[in-house]
Structure 1
Amino acid sequence: MIVRRTMFGRPLRGVAFDVAVSALVALVSLTAAVNQPGGWAATLVGVAMAVALLFRRTHPGAVTVAVAALALVQVVARWGPLVYDVAVLITLYSVVKYGRRLRDGVLAGGVAAVGVLLAAAQTPGVVQWWVTALWYGLVTGAVWLVALNVRTRRLYVLSLEERATTLEREREAESRAAVAEERTRIARELHDVVAHSMAVMIVQADGARFMLDRDPEQARTAVKVVADTGRQALEEMRRLVGVLRDAGPTGAGDSAVPAEPEHRRLTLVDLADLLARFRDAGLSIRHTVTGDAPALPPGLELTVYRVVQEALTNALKHAGVGAHVDLALAYTADAVVVRAADDGRGRPVVSPAPSGGHGLLGMRERVTVYDGSLTAGPRTGGGWQLEARLPLPSGPATEVIAA
């Protein structure tokens, strides 16, 4: 950690340098008080210029006006150029370098040019006045150009620092947005795991309790489904909790985005296992696939899987065990369409499974990520139907994770 000492809200080194410059100009004025034209009156003018130099960084425009007014007093008194007039060059340098607008430096340069002519006219010597004016002009112009170069470099460095600060803020904002998006994805995945799995387990547990005395074999089958579903849910929960555990604080310069889970994501290959679990849970499912399945982005595959999972879970919860479900997966030239319809004629469960109230909303949000559409509602002949249409990517598949 770098500790910068300050005085009056300014860096201590800058204050010390300005005090040294001001003291040097005042010392020169006091030293030449006896021999210089104007005597102590001229010395007071030089000391006033030295005091004004203390504020050359914070108020360069005001200091320039003050020094120019004091130099005008010197010209009117016809004292000629004196040693402490170096304060004029220091002021010119300061207003060009530290002025808010370059226009102030240009105006100060014009005033300095007039001062050069007046100083040359009052300088005693054997050469012609224009030669002296040329010399003064070269010195003054060199000071102005050096100040302009330093100003340009200073503003360039400030712009780089500001750009770096802006990029840092943008990077932090993007990191926070990525973290929020990942948390949203995990929350929705948790809903899918908990709500769907628990719904199946509750329905099967109630059925096992109801059939325990009447049909022990069917009750054992229901208990097995509960155990298998619980294991599957536990495995997915471990995967998601692992993501949260890996999303701890990172080192400096590292992104705060949670790491992706090491386990593979669910794909359409896993639909067979999903359908098998729901068949074991008591649904009668007819699964048809039409069209050639193209290579889908992982996020789109996960969305199709979750839509099918939600549709079957709703059928089991509301239509009941023994209901028949027609599940169709159609691949067209520009979209993949999921249709699920149940007859609503399953065996009523002992007690209805609780609903989280976010199933259809979650499906709609998933589908919306891919500019798709979702329709769901009761069928005319009884039961429930659902259709989700997901447009296929027009270009190369990109990694988009629907959550």
Structure 2
Amino acid sequence: MTVSRTLFGRPLRGVAFDVAVSAGVLLFGLAGATNQPGGWAASGVGAAMAVALLFRRMHPCAVTVVVGTLALLQVIAGWGPLAFDVAVLIALYSVVKYGRRLRDGVLAGAVAAVGVLLAAAQTPAGISWWGTAMWYALVTGAVWLVALNVRTRRLYVLSLEERANTLEREREAESRAAVAEERTRIARELHDVVAHSMAVMIVQADGARFMLDRDPEQARTAVKVVADTGRAALEEMRRLVGVLRDAGPSDAGGSAVVSDPEHRRLALAELPDLLARFRDAGLRVRDTVTGDAPALPPGLELTVYRVVQEALTNALKHAGVGADVEVTLAYTDDVVVVRVVDDGQGRPVVGPAPSGGHGLLGMRERVTVYDGTLTAGPRPTGGWQLEARLPLRSEPATEVIAA
């Protein structure tokens, strides 16, 4: 594990480097105090430059202004370029590299160009003026270009880091969204389990109470259906609640990832068991399959299963025990059709029909997800019919027909 050490809120290595740079400038200023032009006064200017350089990373523009002003005072005093004037180059490098805007670095470069001319003007007699100016210009220009290159690379690295952080945040957000979506789906499945099972149990319990004295054997069968339905619902509820409670491995953001090897999606292979349960509940269910069943996506299989389950539950609640129900699955090359028709001739339930939940709204929502159509309504000859058409390939338009 890497330990990040800081001093005054700054990395310790950066602080140590800046202190070393300032100490070097201070040493240049003090070394020639006895024999340089200006003497100790010039050394004081060098010391002030050295102190200013301590803040070159945090306030590069201000440091450049201070160092440039001190250098101008030195030129006005006629002391000429001295060793500690390397601080001017360091300040120029800092403002180009650390300045918030490159415009500040360009302005500092222009000021430095003027300083080069002023410094060259104090060239001692016998030395070529333009040669000195050319030398100062080459050194200053090289420092400026190096600083610009380092600034470009630094900003590039920072952009890569920001992009990596953004991608990491997006991955965390996608993970959290996936977890939330899975939990929402499981919650909906839990609602379906409770709503449909409770509807069947209530109808059977009312029938058992009604037939208890007239036909004890049929009442006993109804009570058995209540027990079997409740037991199956409880088992599935335990599995679904177990998934919701699963802490599982965490993603990078600390969100729990839902994972339960026992959790399974309901498939069309389980439709016979569903139909058998409704036959036990008292419906006379006939099922027909036409066409060759292709391999359907798991979500589409679950939609077909839930549409049949909801339609049979409604038939049991509203048509009553003993109603004739025909379930048809028709497969073509581009669509699967689910049709459930009842004759409405069953025995009415004792008391008001129990509510199974969202009913048609829930089915419409599921069918619309797959760009399908849903029609439902009473038949002219009595009873109720429902038809869902689910395209096997996504179509551009979504149609929901309200009967």
- The aligned counterpart of 2:168 is 168
Cα–Cα, structure 1 residues 140 and 329, in superposed 2: closer, same or farther, change >3 Å?
same
Name the counterpart of 2:83: 83
**Distance (Å, rounded) in 1 between the aligned partners of 2:21 and 2:220:** 96
Is 1:331 paired with 2:331? yes
- Matches of residues 119-158 of structure 1 in structure 2 within 5 Å? 119-124=119-124, 127-158=127-158
Is 1:18 aligned to residue 21 of structure 2?
no
Indicate conservation of the 8 Å contact 2:371/2:394, yes or no: no
Match of 2:400 in 1: none
Check the 8 A contact 1:188/1:362 in 2, yes or no.
Answer: no
Aligned mates of 2:365, 2:353 — CA distance in 1: 23
Query: Does 1:221 find its partner at 2:202?
Result: no
User: What CA distance in whole angstroms lies between the structure 2 residues aligned with 1:329 and 1:339?
Assistant: 7
**What are the Cα deviations for residues 107-155 of structure 1, in whole angstroms up to 9, with x where unaligned?**
3223323323332332337542333333333332332233223222221
C-alpha distance in 1, partners of 2:249/2:294?
A: 40
The Cα offsets for residues 171-211 of structure 1, whole Å up to 9 and x where unpaired, read as 11111111111111011111111111121122112222322
Listed as ranges, the matches of 1:34-53 within 5 Å are 34-53=34-53
Residue 399 of structure 1 aligns with which residue? Answer: none
Structure 1, 135-144 or 191-200: larger mean CA deviation: 135-144
2:398 aligned partner: none
Amino acid aligned to 2:363: M
Q: Is 1:363 equivalent to 2:373 in the alignment? A: no
Gaps of 5+ in 1: 396-403
Q: 1:260 to 1:335 in 2, by over 3 A?
A: farther
TM-score by length of 2: 0.88
Aligned residues: 395
Q: Which moved more, 1:88-97 or 1:33-42?
A: 33-42
Partner of 2:109: 109
Structure 2 Cα separation of the partners of residues 253 and 138 of structure 1? 52
Question: What is the rounded CA distance, in whole Å, between the counterparts of 1:261 and 1:182 in structure 2?
Answer: 14
For residues 87 and 125 of structure 1, the distance between their equivalents in structure 2, rounded to whole angstroms, comes to: 26
Q: Distance in 2 between matches of 1:132 and 1:339?
A: 96
Single out whichever of 182-191 and 316-325 deviates more from structure 2: 316-325
The Cα shift of 1:8 comes to 4.2
* Residues 99, 105 of structure 2: 8 Å contact kept: yes
- Cα RMSD after superposing both structures: 2.6
Q: Which moved more, 1:146-155 or 1:366-375?
A: 146-155
> Whole-Å Cα distance in 1 between the matches of residues 223 and 358 of structure 2?
27
* Aligned equivalents of 1:277, 1:29: Cα separation in 2: 97
Is the Cα contact below 8 Å between 2:248 and 2:259 reproduced in 1? no
The residue that corresponds to 1:400 in the other structure is none
- What SS is found at the alignment partner of 1:65? helix
SS at match of 1:55: coil
Q: Name which of structure 1's ranges 352-361 and 67-76 shifts more when overlaid on structure 2.
A: 352-361
Distance in structure 2 (CA, Å) of the matches to 1:174 and 1:2: 29
Give 1:241's aligned residue: 241
- Indicate if the aligned counterparts of 1:186 and 1:240 stay in contact, CA closer than 8 A: yes
Aligned-residue offset at 1:251: 6.6
Residue 154 of structure 2 aligns with an amino acid whose one-letter code is: R
1:261-300 equivalences under 5 Å are 261-300=261-300
Using the alignment, how far apart are the partners of 1:94 and 1:77 within structure 2?
26
Q: Which 5+ residue runs of structure 2 have no aligned equivalent? A: 396-403
- Taking the aligned partners of 1:83 and 1:264, their CA distance within structure 2 comes to 79
What fraction of aligned residue pairs are identical, expressed as a percent? 84
Which deviates more, 181-190 or 19-28? 19-28
The residue identity in structure 1 corresponding to 2:235 is E
Distance across 2 between alignment mates of 1:116 and 1:251: 58
